[in-house]
Chains A and B, each alone.
Chain A
Amino acid sequence: MEIQKKVKYEEELDSGFVDEIKEMSRCEEIDACIQCGTCSSSCPMAVYMDYTPRKIIAMIKSGFKDEALRSFTIWLCPSCYTCQVRCPSKIKITDVMYALKRKAIEEKVYPSRFAIPVLDRQMSRLIAKYGRNSEMWLILNLYLKSRNPFGLFKMAPLGLKLMKTGRMSLKKESIKDRKQLGALLKAIKEDTR
């Protein structure tokens, strides 16, 4: 049996990670975490996470960048903000999760076929292009890009009910002034580069 080291040595950690996430989430309070676990016990998704929110904060503080960014936890956060309003150290935990998601996309270490980041990216694309989300197109894109066309068939009975009650349409929604929106997003891109 080969003995392997399970925990990282200090020099293998990224000591600058905490500052990066503090800036991205506009949350200086990360340093003030007392590891009380109120966030994890409040989280409706904690039972499904690979690391609980409390652990994620500890990992950020200690520089376990790779582990935090590659975790499923950050994508499972549904932004219900329960942890954030309860945190006694006033850490904006939901905003920290958002920052980790963005960082994971930036560094291309997110699970690329996992449905949640696929949905986020597809919806953002629809809005940047048309100014509006089209629910039906978003769902189609979700199943195709997460390579789960079978999921679409499973959705068919529900789709039928929604069609019957006039709650689903194949129309592609769009704002009138797409030119203005395009110019705005272009200016932002140039400005923040």
Chain B
Amino acid sequence: MLEFDDIQHILVTRVPALTGRYEFLSFRQPAQGRAWLAGIIDKVASAKEAQASVQTENRWVSVAFTWSGLRALGLDEAPLATFPEEFRQGMVARAQMLGDTGANHPDHWIGGLASPDLHAIAILFARDPSERQRSTQEHQAFLAQIPGVQVLSTLDLDALPPFDYARDHFGYRDRLSQPEIEGTGIEPTRGSGAPIKAGEFILGYPDENGPPVGLPQPDILSRNGSYMAYRRLQEHVGAFRDFLRQQGGPSTEEQEWLAAKLMGRWRSGAPLVLAPDKDDRALGADPQRNNNFDYARMDPHGYAVPLGAHIRRMNPRDTAVNMQRRRMIRRGATYGPPLPEGAPDDGVDRGIAAFVLCASLVRQFEFAQNVWINDPNFHELGNERDPIIGNQDGTFDMTIPRRPIRRKITGLPAFTTVKGGAYFFLPGIKALRYLSTLG
């Protein structure tokens, strides 16, 4: 039985928010950090609370800490040492393995995210901009009373118009393939696989391998917690559209075809496996159909979805082993204004700022980054990386299987750049109280 009253809602609940704000915090004194935490706990909704009030509530708050943040709250060295090595090291130290090199290197990150002074994140999702403004002012007023807590940076999130469904700045429909946790009662959509044991995402429960082991201690600290990898990805919309025009050809149809091949889905969300030749918007919008496909049986050679396409890398379905141990829960939103169609790139920072939630960063998040996204030899491709979020420096290719002969695009440009990231621990509600009363 999952303890929904102790699990932070972000792990389980998808809230109807059109806006949001992330605030990145640094604690100068443990007591001040704990005072901040004590003051905000009551605003952090559990999964149970969020579920009950999802229709009437207007804002949802989550809080999480880096490893140095737990120390900055006054947690002793003994419990600190029980956290797994990759979390203790932090995302910056893992940069090379994650593919955060070149333009993606932490040296170029913004908002103080590469700094060891990054201790905590407060995540706000709000139903509309006015609620975000109200909540932000409330938080500012609260912080004004606690001078030892410094805001390193903030980021406002805004869904993209016309708000009929979630999309990114490139125009792709998002949130189509999401693992479901066993015990939440939520049935996975067709093709999304069996529900996954809670321990793959929430600490303290059996995972796909059996009973939980090696959890951070004491128990109250880790129970109902999760690890959360944050990624801020700038999307180069102008470069993306230029690429489609240059490589796709003059017609919109050809450009749409190329965009679909990079992703594995038409921008409407319709999967290429089920709609290989032309877009099918009704299919893209139908949750009972838009994820109902596999690769080994339906598209073994990649004639529909190229072997290196984004969705085939992020979820190889039946063409990879141990899939149930590699899944991740994604949360997040877009930031920055949309770039109007036909407009040249205005240089404004826009993109996706997202969280990957999992029980093991090294086995789930880092594996996906290291092997699925950035291994040039994924599926024997030889010299390719994820065309959307891989570390692209102009030296990698993209092969598009096609009869009679394949199409090969050489020197793929980077459509995204990592502008920040961090490893956070998302404690359960009781663990938040435990942390707030240390010392």
A and B found bound together: no
Residues of A within 8 A of B (CB): none
Residues of B within 8 A of A (CB): none
